[in-house]
Amino acid sequence: MIELKIALVTGANMGLGLETSRQLALQGIRVLMGARGAVRGRSAAKKLQDEGLPVEFLQLDVTKPEQIRVVAALIVKRFGKLDILVNNAGISEGEGKSSNSTETVSSKVLRNTFDTNFFGLVELTQKLLPLIRKSEAGRIVNVSSIMGSLTIHSQGGSYKPFAYDASKTAVNAFTIHLAAALSGTNIKVNSAHPGWVRTEMGGPHAPLSPADGAKTAVRLATLGPDGPTGKFFHGNDELPW
């Protein structure tokens, strides 16, 4: 009997998280859909359940350590392992859409952004690592952004929302460091750039659908044993840090 893989996707109530959950579940993976809003989270999970997919909702605000502890304990009790963690939850607030916010961004926006996009991501991953170590092929995908690439920012461009970009740069650093820490294990850790996607964050004029945007994270979440680790991808293309 083939053992069912278990995945946790954060920020799974809409957009990229919802589509990532759908695409993983279509591969027969049981997906725990983490979301901070219970109403939207349950509605999203029911939508996929109505499609016959093996998903369920979990209340999870990554900025709340008590919710992280509850989720970890639930996974321990029910499954005893975690095969896939997709750190998708993220925010971008208070920085405008077309300017460099470095001179004006408030400390409150910086802290709020880092709490969700970085500190919560790190804390959740650390808490779940013992469970991921029990998987035969653990996969951690940190949903980042090309806006976190220092190489690309150093080449110019005017669109630089500092809090968001810096948080994603920090996420990429975490990917590199965690992959190094787990070198020699069966766990692979990579960053994913979904592209510019039509979501609440990306806006209605973005060229990619959520289904297209989710493909990179899904690919990295289901890498084979010879797949890369400690890298940054959009689709099959490796991106510069």
In angstroms, the CA 65 to CA 88 distance is 17
Going 139 to 177 to 185 to 124, the CA torsion angle's sign is negative
DSSP state of 97: S
The residues that are catalytic are 164
- Collapsing DSSP states into helix, strand and coil, what is residue 51? coil
Kindly state the helix (H) or strand (E) to which residue 234 belongs, with its residue range.
strand 232-234
First to last CA, the chain: 41
- Collapsing DSSP states into helix, strand and coil, what is residue 86? strand
In angstroms, the CA 66 to CA 204 distance is 35
Kindly state the helix (H) or strand (E) to which residue 143 belongs, with its residue range.
strand 139-143
